[in-house]
Amino acid sequence: MAAYNPMELMICVAARELEDGKTVVVGTGAPCAAAMLAQKMHAPNLIVVFEAGGVGPLLPTMPISVGDSRTFYKGIMASSMNEIMEMCQRGLVDYTFLGAGQIDAYGNINSTMIGKDYSRPKVRFPGSGGANDLASLCWRTIVMTPQDNRRFVAKLDFLTTPGYLSGKGAREEAGLPPGTGPYRVITDLAVIGYAEDSCRMQLLSLHEGVERETVQERTGFELEWAEPVGVTAAPTKEELRILREEVDPYRYVIGR
């Protein structure tokens, strides 16, 4: 079995979620690496979209920002942030990737602050950027993040980005498009989905060598569990070769 680190594992698992012919809005870093790997492995017609306006580029190397000139290289369209958000609003974007300072059982995300006083937080995060719009309007939201009970919390300190809000039907009641919402959370321990009846996080598969108790200990709320719980397929030699040699040869992301 090939050796790999947690970041490589998360990127390979995330790449497998992206189907050929779909559209995905990505930022830089691990989400971009996952999209590039998917294109090179099994989804050559995956349309990668960047918030600053690049649509469908053939990325020559890893961009360093969403406005990097490489995000427009041989693309379908060089547009603007307004047009990208309009694409999402019109239902034309299948997937988006997000990170999370905090995330709760319903997939709601805090990327604003830690603490009880907004004016004097313990930690100030960058804020939403386009995350609120993307999670509100794209069909499926995938989160990639390490798993620990400081990040996976029962109650957010601040709601930046909506998941399923308070449960089934709450997104629609708030005016968000029906059928949209959280889809997967990919961590260094497991692959997590959402139960259809409750819209709470439901663990789908454990990564090789990870115990159920470890995942629950690193989660600040009670997880639901699929029946049966699967085992995540390890990265293949070919996935790792392409990731290391073609996607991120300078180890900007996988070297973290």
Angstrom distances, CA of residue 249 to CA of 86, 112, 156, 207, 253: 34, 32, 37, 25, 10
Parallel, antiparallel or unpaired: strands 140-144 and 95-98:
parallel
b/e sequence 18-55, b meaning 16+ C-beta within 10 Å: beeebbbbbbbbbbbbbbbbbbbbebeebbbbbbbbbb
Question: Is 51 among the residues known to form the active site?
Answer: yes
Q: Is-contact 18 35, C-beta < 8 A? A: yes
Of the listed 8, 17, 19, 51, which one is catalytic? Answer: 51
Q: Which of 83, 49, 82 lies closest to 66 in space, CA to CA? A: 49
One-letter amino acid of 105 = A
The pair of three-digit structure tokens given for residue 13, joined into one six-digit string: 């698992």
Q: How far apart are CA 142 and CA 145, in angstroms?
A: 10
State the catalytic residues.
51
